[in-house]
């Protein structure tokens, strides 16, 4: 892990140890993966305009969210089926988050239970709830999260149906995993991973155990959560959840400013600008491009977080400069755990923290409060268009 000096190097470490189809499940997006790619490219389009002659001998990267401290302006985003890539990976993510004093979000499709995470990784815990058609199960999961002391409930609202992930179709990947002519060669090439899954049996998703299995019709293939999501979920149903859940409520999956007022009227405590990492709707807007509009619509009423495409500490810096209160790390820390378990996650967070600190020093911003749009340059592409118009 010490040789992994960037998130991309951690990604390559994960690729090297996993069968192609398994790696592609975590790495891929919907359809042509336009949104997946654009999430990253959006950060590349933003340029920094550093201030100089500032005292940056000491840099403070600590933040606050909901009145509680965070070691970094980062939370771990919900990522599903982690245990298939690294056994015990969900616990590793949560333990590393606790070390850095940042929130960890447990996915409904995690390979660890609500109670296991609370027992093995006490810290700031959030539970991400998919709105299942089975309301008795959904309510039971929410009640268990409350009983286990989870700080916040995260409601994902950008998944009325499952996305079409064509890498999975190509690789013949399904959960539970099955050997077939498309993937047996991939498994043979990765004997250590394959023997572990064979001898110790693959993990399972406790929160989804017993729900409908994956469809056999590959043209309609989607994840178990997507198959069982309730497409009728609306603002009225969200309000009912707000009344049921007594702690912080976070809504994840917002990109259109027209949705903001109605959601805030329900009484949510934070919004996450997210397009599900490009895994649902392809050709949707990149989250960084959507962020300024959401920030303006929110107008300081609640914190605004963002995920999607964050691979550098400078990406965190740019999100903060555009008005975010913090970021959620999805694939960046996921690549870490897939490449090296707990040590990989620790390495990923160390990389992001080091790069954020360095960017703050080079831009003359010793505290997070100093980071604003004044240290951003207008993108070259926009400047060119304006000059052409003149």
Q: Which residues are catalytic?
A: 276
Q: How far is CA 29 from CA 90, 205, 249, 261, 316, in A?
A: 21, 21, 27, 29, 22
Angle at which helices 135-147 and 235-244 pack, to 10 degrees? 40
How far is residue 230's CA from residue 240's CA, in Å, rounded to a whole number? 15
136 touches 107 (CB < 8 A): no
How far is residue 291's CA from residue 320's CA, in Å, rounded to a whole number? 10
Angle (CA) 74-75-80 rounded to 5° is 140
Question: How would you label 96-129 residue by residue, b for 16+ Cβ within 10 Å and e otherwise?
Answer: bbbebebbbbbbbbbbbbbebbbeebebbbbbbb
Q: Which helix (H) or strand (E) is 261 found in, with range?
A: helix 260-266
326 touches 70 (CB < 8 A): yes
130 touches 105 (CB < 8 A): no
Which residues have C-beta within 8 Å of that of residue 239, sequence separation ≥ 6?
A: 266, 267
72 touches 317 (CB < 8 A): no
Q: Residue 352: which of 317, 324, 305 has the closest Cα?
A: 317
The number of CA neighbours under 13 Å toward the Cβ of 290 is 26
Give the E-state strand segments of 134-231 in sequence order. 152-156
Strand-pairing partners, residue 327, are 74, 306
Tell me, what DSSP letter sits at residue 208?
G
Q: Residue 107: which of 123, 97, 94 has the closest Cα?
A: 94
């Amino acid at each position: 892990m010490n040789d992994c000096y960037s998130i991309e190097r951690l990604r390559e470490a994960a690729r090297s140890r996993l069968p192609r189809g398994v790696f592609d499940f975590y790495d891929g997006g919907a359809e042509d993966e336009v949104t997946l790619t654009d999430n990253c490219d959006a950060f590349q389009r933003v340029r920094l305009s550093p201030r100089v002659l500032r005292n940056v001998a000491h840099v403070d990267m600590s933040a606050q969210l909901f009145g509680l401290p965070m070691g970094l302006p980062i939370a771990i985003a919900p990522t599903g089926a982690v245990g298939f890539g690294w056994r015990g990976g969900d616990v590793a993510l949560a333990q590393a988050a606790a070390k850095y004093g940042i929130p960890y979000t447990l996915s409904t499709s995690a390979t660890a239970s609500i109670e296991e995470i609370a027992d093995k990784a006490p810290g700031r815990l959030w539970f991400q709830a998919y709105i299942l058609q089975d309301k008795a199960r959904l309510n039971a999961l929410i009640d268990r999260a409350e009983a286990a002391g989870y700080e916040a409930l995260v409601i994902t609202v950008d998944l009325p149906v499952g996305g079409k992930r064509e890498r999975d179709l190509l690789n013949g990947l399904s959960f539970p995993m099955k050997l077939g002519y498309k993937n047996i060669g991939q498994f043979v090439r990765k004997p250590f991973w394959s023997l572990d899954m064979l001898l110790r049996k693959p993990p399972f998703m406790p929160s989804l155990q017993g729900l409908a299995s994956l469809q056999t019709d590959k043209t309609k293939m989607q994840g178990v959560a997507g198959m069982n999501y309730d497409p009728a979920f609306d603002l009225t149903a969200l309000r009912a959840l707000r009344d049921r859940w007594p702690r912080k409520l976070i809504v994840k999956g917002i990109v259109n400013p027209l949705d903001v007022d109605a959601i805030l009227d329900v009484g949510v405590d934070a919004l996450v600008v997210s397009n599900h990492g490009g895994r649902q709707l392809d050709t949707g807007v990149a989250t960084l491009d959507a962020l300024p509009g959401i920030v303006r619509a929110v107008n300081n009423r609640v914190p605004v977080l963002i995920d999607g495409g964050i691979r550098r500490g400078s990406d965190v810096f740019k999100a903060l400069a555009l008005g975010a209160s913090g970021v959620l790390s999805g694939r960046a820390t996921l690549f870490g755990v897939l490449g090296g378990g707990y040590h990989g996650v620790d390495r990923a967070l160390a990389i992001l923290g080091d790069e954020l600190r360095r960017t703050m020093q080079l831009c003359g911003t010793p505290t997070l409060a100093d980071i604003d749009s004044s240290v951003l340059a207008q993108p070259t592409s926009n400047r060119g268009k304006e000059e052409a118009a003149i």
